[in-house]
Amino acid sequence: EHGITKPKGYNVSFHYNPEMEKHHFGMTHPMKPWRLTLTKSLVSAYGMNFAMDNYTARAATYEELTAFHASDYVDHLATVAPQPQPLDVENPNPDLKYNLGGSDCPLFEGLYNYCSLSGGASLDAARKLCANQSDIAIAWGGGLHHAKKAEASGFCYINDIVLAILQLLRIHARVLYIDIDVHHGDGVEEAFFSTDRVMTVSFHKYDPLNFFPGTGALEDNGPKSEHNPGAHHAINVPLNDGITDEQYKWLFESIITRVVEKFRPGAIALQCGADSLAGDRLGKFNLLVQGHSSCVEFCKKLGLPLILFGGGGYTPKNVARAWAYETAIAIGHQDDIPSQIPIHTPWRDRFKIDSLLPTIQQILGEPRQNRNTQKKLTEIVQHVTEQLRFVGA
């Protein structure tokens, strides 16, 4: 009936827990965990599950979370009350210390469960790669790149990416982290600031005073403090509104080709934040699913063990399109899935447009003004090339 069968010669695993969608950040909050359900329903409607190993992700344990996070922070996360604590001048509310309870990182029912499920999915994915049981492992519930060792930030409480990379480092001498979320991957960058075993590359909108988190300038390549092996191992690609598929693909491929050549990673961790797509509620790029997913396709072709994480993405129907199409790329079926969203897809009405790959006109009507000049993009590639002179043997 459907033509989707297991790819020969390599394995893809899909790590997901339907419990994640039951958590709510609040009505006005842009992060909607049910986008994961929408993604999963599209993946299943296309029959993609027949071509991968599907796992119900477990929750990460306390010990696993504290492999990166401070135990006092994890202890606090495990006990926080969704209601604001009464004001006590003698004992200041510890929520503030950990940046919890504000509008970006609210306290909600089941928060600790949500965090450990996201961490568990990414850890399971990393372990499948380490055990050589998967060539590509997918964890769309992960990708929460802003979380710090002892602090929540930008909708992220537990940095599942750092936890996963720590696993990969048990097997691989060097791991390459790439981040195509519209925001700077600051938490992952900072976690590996002092090692030359992880190189981080983030593509993001950069406008320090007006766009979160405000870090990630071209010149920020890791602290150049005395004998820091991590110096030059952070690469930042600051962009402006309106970047197109053609420009993004060119930049991505130019930079990643050079990085892989010099750094020679043993595995790649790719954060696929879908807020870099056109029509996102927070992001303002002009990327289509085609351009976004070309990054996944390019990484797959490098032939290294690959882990795919989710991340941002605030227009759920477009998030589901991108992550479903990127799942198709992982299993090698992107060219033989119908371009029309299957009629039996649950929540099909949510997609509005019945194409899996809508045009920019269908999404936005008029594309956003592109504020990225080719001159600036060429300068970025030039800067990266110069940075890479300090990297590798």
Question: Annotated active-site positions, please?
Answer: 184
Site string for Zn ion, 280-319 (x = CB under 5 A): --------------------------------x-------
Q: Which residue is nearest to ligand V1S (CB)?
A: 312
Alpha-carbon gap, residue 372 to 386, rounded angstroms: 21
CA dihedral 306, 312, 315, 316 (to 10 degrees): 60
Site string for Ca ion, 172-191 (x = CB under 5 A): -------x-x---x------
Alpha-carbon gap, residue 236 to 170, rounded angstroms: 26
Of positions 60, 77, 156, 188, contacts ligand V1S by CB under 6 A? 156
Name the phi and psi angles at 61, rounded to 5.
Answer: -85, 165
Is the Cβ of residue 186 or residue 275 nearer to Zn ion in the bound state? Answer: 275
358 binds, among Ca ion, Zn ion, ligand V1S, none (CB under 5 to 8 A by kind): none
Site string for Zn ion, 222-261 (x = CB under 5 A): ----------------------------------------
- For the record, the structure tokens of 247 come out as 């420009």
Is residue 275 close enough to count as binding Zn ion by CB under 5 A?
Answer: yes
Query: Closest separation between CB of residue 262 and ligand V1S, Å?
Result: 27
Of positions 181, 186, 189, 190, contacts Zn ion by CB under 5 A? 181
How far apart, in Å, are the Cα atoms of 64 and each of 110, 155, 158, 225?
A: 19, 20, 11, 30
Is the Cβ of residue 101 or residue 310 nearer to Ca ion in the bound state? Answer: 310
Is the Cβ of residue 135 or residue 275 nearer to ligand V1S in the bound state? Answer: 275
Is residue 284 close enough to count as binding Ca ion by CB under 5 A?
Answer: no
Is the Cβ of residue 106 or residue 266 nearer to ligand V1S in the bound state? Answer: 106
Query: Closest separation between CB of residue 163 and ligand V1S, Å?
Result: 16
Nearest CA to 178 out of 127, 252, 264, 244 is that of: 252
202 binds, among ligand V1S, Zn ion, Ca ion, none (CB under 5 to 8 A by kind): Ca ion
Contact 126, 164 (CB under 8 A): yes
C-alpha distance across the termini of the chain, in Å: 52
Q: Who contacts 278 (Cβ-Cβ below 8 Å, separation ≥6)? A: 285, 286, 287, 288, 318, 360, 363, 364, 367, 368
* Contacting positions for Ca ion (CB under 5 A): 179, 181, 185, 202, 204
* Contacting positions for ligand V1S (CB under 6 A): 28-30, 103-104, 144-146, 154-156, 181, 183, 212, 273, 275, 282, 311-312
* Contacting positions for Zn ion (CB under 5 A): 181, 183, 273, 275, 312
